[in-house]
Amino acid sequence: MKTLMLASHNPVKAEAVEKGFQRVFPGEGFRIQPVNVESGVSDQPMTDQATREGALNRARNAKKADPEADYWVGVEGGCDYLDSTMVAFAWVVILGERGQGSARTALFQLPREVQALVEGGMELGDADDLVFGRQNSKQKSGAVGLLTHNRVTRRTLYEQAVVLALIPFINSDLY
């Protein structure tokens, strides 16, 4: 059984990582080991670059926490702008003994009311909870689930990025 050090205790991230690894390596067993580590970026990263940096820092710090694991995974959600519209997305960085892979999720537009709250300093999950009258949505379907009526959830959004971040590991002869 392979050990995956996940730089998060969020159950949605854990499920996305586990399902993504199972899709890529269907014959292998995986044990997700959550660990709290610093991202080195703000609680709500506000650029694509800062979000990727947070995911990379989390993966590196997870490796420092347990260098004996098989893989170390950082997942960081962030926001940025397309023109004047705020969008949300996440970066996934996976470190392994034989390299590194990273991928970004699809991005999606945020409603103006959510955007205003995030611009005022609120984290996206808290802004979603306030606008949509929910509690702890970031550990459930997330903003994307709320906005798509669960046609796409935070888990399914992140799972695809996990699979894409594993490309260098399943094609090691090319990387």
Q: How far is CA 69 from the centre of its chain?
A: 19
Would you say residue 76 lies in a domain? yes
Would you say residue 74 lies in a domain? yes
CA dihedral 153, 45, 59, 171 (to 10 degrees): 60
Residue with tokens 């962030």: 78
Residues of the chain with pLDDT under 50: none
> Residue 34: which CATH number?
3.90.950.10
The whole-number pLDDT of residue 82 equals: 96
The residues that bridge with 5 in the sheet, in sequence order, are 33, 72
Residue type at position 53? E
- Domain count across the chain: 1
Residues 29 and 40 sit within 8 Å (Cβ to Cβ): no
The residues that bridge with 81 in the sheet, in sequence order, are 86
The whole-number pLDDT of residue 135 equals: 86
The whole-number pLDDT of residue 141 equals: 86
Would you say residue 16 lies in a domain? yes
- pTM confidence score: 0.94
Residue type at position 32? I
Write the burial class of residue 88 (CB in 10 Å: 0-12 exposed, 13-18 middle, 19+ buried). buried
pLDDT tens figures, 109-130: 999 999 999 999 999 999 999 9
Would you say residue 161 lies in a domain? yes
Would you say residue 128 lies in a domain? no
Q: Residue 54: give the domain boundaries.
A: 2-107+154-170
Would you say residue 135 lies in a domain? no
Q: Phi and psi for 95 in degrees, rounded to 5?
A: -105, 140
The whole-number pLDDT of residue 137 equals: 81
Would you say residue 94 lies in a domain? yes
Q: Which two tokens stand for residue 105?
A: 């999720």
